[in-house]
Structures are given as structure tokens and as C-alpha cells.
Structure 1
Amino acid sequence: MQQRAPSLVGRLRVAYDLARDEMLALVREAGHPDVTGAMITLFRLTGIDQRRPGEIAATARLSKQATNDFLRELERLRYVERHPDPSDGRARIMKLTKRGHELDAAVWAAGRNVERSWAARIDRKRMATFNEVLDELIAGHDRD
């Protein structure tokens, strides 16, 4: 059987999984042992606070059903609350509780710590180049 080299996409997925695992460990060390890796996905980019579940799902690139499942669990754990959307009383928006703001800060700090750790491992210049290439790929996709 011929040995196949892993694709770029496959290696990016492995890197993402490693980063998420490192972030999750840091988030749990910061006092949030009940949070899962899937839940922290909701906090990336524009986060959760003051947003509708559908918007959160789109940003996290998750289904609305999965997102609502995670939001219900975050609500049960008292990280978020659902409130009527002031611009449309029929819709709901998510608001972070005090504990939710602490989790949001922990997730963002963990992400930056992982970036710094990886930059120290491969050297800052190569990490900057890697970030530039990712930005170009993402920007190119947005134009397609």
C-alpha cells in the first residue's frame, strides 16, 4: 500500500485540535472545569455577548441546533442568559453573566497564550509569516 502524505487541510485540522486542547486546559486551569472544547468554539471571533443564537452559529460555523444545545448548557452552567432582543421582541439575544465574562476573558487569554507558545517554539518571524499566509488564504476565500 502506498503511503499518503497528509494534506494541508488535514494538518490544519490537527493543528486546530491541538490548539483547542491546549486552550481548553488553560481555560479549565483558570477556573472553568465544566467547559468543553466545543463550547469554547462559540467564543471565537465576535463571541456570544449581545448576539442572537443564529449569528453565533454562523460565526462558529456550527449548525443552529448544535449551537443552541451548547448555549443551553452554557445557560445551565450560568455563563449566559437569554433575553428579548430590544430590536425585535420576538427574537432572543444571549448575554454573558459575570461568570460568562470571566470565561470569555479566559478563552481569549488562552488563545493568545497558545499563540505565544507556538511562536516561541517555531520563532516569531516564522509565526508572523504563517499568520500572513492564513490571512491571505482567508481574504482570498472571502472574495470568491
Structure 2
Amino acid sequence: METNFPDHPLIGLLLRLVYQHYAQDIDATLSEAGFGDIRPSHANVFPFVPPEGITVSGLAELARVRKQTMAQAVDQLERMGYVERRPDPHDRRSRLVFLTERGASVKPVTHATATRVEERWAELTSPEELETLRATLLRLLTELRAE
């Protein structure tokens, strides 16, 4: 372990630092693929928009951010052509967020990059350790959401 870490670093710090490496790789690939206008705050939108659309409130809940924060991200992405809002067929007062064709083309880029990042992490540790980490984080997240 690097000497600038404490003897027993907090897991939250380690998760944040590892995520920063992950996000840098995703951002670089998005930029290379012509999506250089996407910002980190927009990452709260793309993974949570289903084909049938979703409200801003629903997005905020899934991403675990404030509704105002999500509304700002959706507004920006709408202006940039990644998402569009359409009337909700089940509630005339509500609007649903959908990915546009451009927005849908972001997912394959991020998924391919994420796969490469995980493959690299498996090389740096081992495939077994990475799968144990995934299972542990998934179990922890499931328990936290159940509370």
C-alpha cells in the first residue's frame, strides 16, 4: 500500500479514490468518442432511464440525489440533445424523460469502457478478488436499501 495512506484507511475514502480512477477512464473515452460535453453530474441520469421513460423524481430517487440536482442535469442534457421529455400517457400533468438516439449511443461507450476497466482491475488483483468485491458491495447495497 502507498505510504501516503493511513494504516487503516476508511473504506469510504478507498471507494471514492478507486471511483475517481474509474470515472477518469470513462470521461476520457467519452471525450474521444465525441461526447466531451458530458459532465460527471450527468452520470446520474444515463444508467437510470428505462426505454419506457421515467420522471425526474423517479430518476432522483434511483440516483439518490435531490430532485433539484436531477432536474438541472436533465435540463442540461435536454439542451445538449441527449434526452427529451414527453407527456406521460398515464398522467397528463407529468412528463417522462427518454434518451434520444444520441443519448442511447452513450451507454455502449460507457459499458465497453467499464468492462475494460474491470478487466484491468482483475489483472491488478485477480478475477476472484474482483468478483468477491462485487458480491460484497452488492450485498451491502441491498441491505442498505432494505433498511
TM-score range, shorter chain: 0.7 to 0.9
Residue 102 of structure 2 aligns with an amino acid whose one-letter code is R
Matched, 1:134 2:140: no
Q: d(CA) in 2 for partners of 1:30 and 1:113?
A: 15
Q: Number of aligned residue pairs: give it.
A: 141
- 1:30-79 per-residue CA deviation (whole Å, 9 max, x = no partner) reads 221111122123223x3365111111111111111111111111111101
Q: Equivalent residue of 1:69, what SS?
A: helix
Matched, 1:97 2:85: no
2:10 — aligned with what? 7
TM-score (norm 1): 0.87
Q: Equivalent residue of 2:36, what SS?
A: coil
Match of 1:67 among 70, 79, 82: 70
TM-score (norm 2): 0.85
Q: Equivalent residue of 1:95, what SS?
A: strand
Q: Equivalent residue of 2:87, what SS?
A: strand
Task: Report percent identity of matched pairs.
Answer: 28
Q: Equivalent residue of 2:93, what SS?
A: strand
Q: Equivalent residue of 2:113, what SS?
A: helix
Asked whether the 8 Å contact 1:43–1:107 carries over to 2, the reply is no
2:37 — aligned with what? 34
Residue 121 of structure 1 aligns with an amino acid whose one-letter code is L
CA shift at 1:5, angstroms?
4.0
Asked whether the 8 Å contact 1:84–1:92 carries over to 2, the reply is yes
After the TM superposition, list the runs of 4 or more consecutive aligned residues in structure 1 that deviate by more than 6 angstroms.
Answer: none
Q: d(CA) in 1 for partners of 2:132 and 2:54?
A: 33
Stretches of structure 2 lacking an aligned partner (at least 5 in a row): 1-5
